Structure 1
Amino acid sequence: MRSQRGWFLLFLLVEGVVALYVTFGRAGFDPLTGLLVLAPAMGLASVAYRFQCDQERELSRVRQIAELAQQAIVRPLPPRLGGMSLAVHTRSATDQALIGGDLHDALVAPTGVRLIVGDVKGKGMEAVRLSAVVLASFRRHAPDVPDLVTLATALDADLVPHLGEEDFVTVLLAEFVPGEVRLVNCGHPAPLRIGHRLEALEPPEPSPPLGLGPEPRLRRAGLGLSQRLLLYTDGLSEARDADGVEFPLDRHVRHALAAPGLDHALPNLLDLLDEHAGDLRDDLTLLLVQPVPAPDPAERAAGPEPDGPAATALPADSRKDGF
């Protein structure tokens, strides 16, 4: 791109010389006089071009620093964590950004695997800053607090001093124990349980987001080896087509997410989303989770497989029951 601009600038200068020559020549003036008039303009154009190149180099440097900072904020998750298989996809609506206002993380606590998915109101670096505050608080408190309600309260207390008057963060907290998932939802889209049907696990009572006086309530739901859980941000549920119709969370989504292997399921969902909405106008985070069977004693003695055991295939679609 920079070389193209250089050639374009040279082309304009040559065109200017020719135009002055023709104009001054026909009027009876010395063409050298015209070149002397043009010379300062050529110098200014050269200075402007060098300034633009310097600005582009500085912008590239800033983008590299921002990319490293964002990678430090949202760390990659392993495909296997504490008896759970994980698959993650993130997409920022902001050009040149790895993340925006979305956040996610997971860790192993004494009670089980704990996971967070959230969405900061707004975009840009301010949203990234608030994401960093929430994730730092999650990493500090999640390994030790006794339950998710206490964890949500701690996150809110840490976040409030950093918020403006209209700022808030929606958050979904999940804790996985054998056969069960425990959820606390503060203003976030409800996760989807995928099994014989697609089911939104709504909170027992709605709670405001963090920063707006949340009232977290615990929900417990079964999650067997043949079921998956999709946690996501509103970049999925509020994606609209050209007619303004939101992305439907229907049996097609259930079929896509029931594909063998989590690494196939999320691409299937993204294909549906891109077909429906095209370019996204909001950040998107998708986190698909499934329990995996514990190895038997013989397998445990032999050592784990490199990536852990594969997730169990989901049952066939059952349209008579929900989605």
Structure 2
Amino acid sequence: MTDGTPSANRAVLAAMPVVVMAVVALMDLVTEPGVGFLPLVSLGPAFASLVGGWRRTAVIGLVALVLCVGLGVYDRLFEERRGFAAMASVAGVTGVGIAAALMRSRREEQLASMRSIAEVAQRVLLRPVPRTAGPLRVAVSYTSAVAEARIGGDLYEVVASPYGVRVIVGDVQGKGLAAVETAAVVLGAFREAAHDEPDLVGLGERLERSVARELEGEKFVTGILAEIGARPEIVFLNYGHPAPMVVRGDGTVRFPEPPAYALPLGLGAHGGERPKPYRVDFAPGDQVLLYTDGVTEARDGDGRFYPVGERAPLLKDPDADRALEALRADLARHADGPPHDDAAMLLLRYHGHGDGKSVPSG
């Protein structure tokens, strides 16, 4: 029995042509010549074309043809047409298998090329966040809902600006390439405005204008902005996004809500409350988890949402990356099957401005 891993499955498929031809040869030898097992030798090159290249398929096909001739002579099938029909079957299947192997190789090369392009796009769009920024230690986790995808509609960034460390976590409405394009617009605007705008409200207004120019109809982006300066506090600006989770050094958990709920980015033209900044104490030993709704809306087999607040003890590990990985692994265990939405998490740990009260971290 295999262990179920792709490498084990591939090894089984790689051995299958030899096993099949050996079984067919054995059955042909122990049964009467008239039973008609000989054409089944063509299963060898057929299986070879599933995982091997065209050269391996051709070699297996040649071995199958030699085996077919040997068994045909042994069974005296060349005294009638059955031996030649079996050879034609093996040759035909081998030819088709070689063609299939060539086509699969080309597709694999194209997929490898697309994967490398996606990795470059990921590095440009979702660049690795700095492990330290000002008074912060930072860790990030991103899980895409699309199989094999590296990027999606969730976004995050950390920028050390002249006005303090500025952070964004957001969630674009929708999925697919359109969501990725919108995420690129938001991140590009944030990276530029974070260095130019002296206050967080001005930064948010720049983002609103950029998103409004790019989005059409009722599309929008929920997001939360955060700023950490010289004082032991964090300033939030919330655009319809889930409240951050603040974990104090003593283990207590809070989800500070904004004084007024604002519309997501892109919907500012529809009126409603403008976002108001609100401040939360953020001292050495404290942690803040920013996340998207792919985290809190993940359901288990009974339909229960992920209780992120109850899982705060998982963030006790001194290494920020290991702590966030423990939370991500717990989220994956909680979810019933593959994720239905992208899930981004950004962990901020306050370790002070060189005051010797730092929280150990990776």
Shift in CA distance, 275/44, structure 1 to aligned 2, threshold 3 Å: closer
| AA aligned opposite 1:245 | R
Partner of 2:240: 187
1:233-265 deviation digits (Å, cap 9, x = unpaired): 112111111111001133x32322344443443
Match of 2:352 in 1: 293
The residue that corresponds to 2:148 in the other structure is 96
Q: Compare CA radii of gyration and give the structure with the larger one.
A: 2
1:240 equivalent to 2:299? Answer: yes
Partner of 1:202: 257
Contact 2:141 2:328 in 1 (8 A): no
CA distance in 2: counterparts of 1:294 and 1:282, whole angstroms: 37
1:194–1:258 CA contact under 8 A, matched in 2: no
Partners of 1:79 and 1:70 lie apart in 2 by 18
Q: Which residue does the alignment assign to 1:50?
A: 102
CA contact (8 A) 1:194 1:229 kept: yes
Higher relative contact order (CA 8 A, sep 6+): 1
**1:273 aligned to 2:331?**
yes
Following TM superposition, by how much is the alpha carbon of 1:41 offset from its aligned partner in structure 2, in angstroms? 5.3
8 Å Cα contact 1:226/1:312 also seen in 2: no
Aligned to 1:211, what secondary structure does the other structure show?
A: coil
Q: Compute the displacement of 1:39 (Å).
A: 4.4
TM-score (norm 1): 0.80
Rounded Cα–Cα distance in structure 2 between residues aligned with 1:90 and 1:149: 27
Report the RMSD for the aligned CA atoms in angstroms.
3.4
Q: Would you say 1:231 and 2:290 are equivalent positions?
A: yes
Q: Cα offset for 1:211? A: 1.8
Letter in 2 for 1:184: L
Q: Does 1:310 align with 2:358?
A: yes
Q: How far off its partner does 1:277 sit?
A: 2.1
Q: Distance in 2 between matches of 1:3 and 1:168?
A: 48
Question: Where do 5+ consecutive residues of structure 2 fail to align?
Answer: 1-9, 18-42, 47-60
Structure 1 CA distance, aligned partners of 2:12 and 2:212? 49
Residues in 2 aligned to 1:40 and 1:226: alpha-carbon distance in whole angstroms: 71
Give the number of the structure whose residues are more often helix, by fraction: 2
Tell me the alpha carbon deviations over residues 149-203 of structure 1, each in whole angstroms, 9 at most, x when there is no partner. Answer: 2222211222233334353211110011212211111121110111142111112
Q: How many matched pairs?
A: 300
Residues 249-303 of structure 1 deviation map (CA, whole Å, 9 limit, x = unaligned): 33x323223444434432332343233226433222111112222235xx9xxxx
User: 3-state DSSP class of the match of 1:143?
Assistant: helix
TM-score by length of 2: 0.72
Percent of aligned pairs sharing the same letter: 36
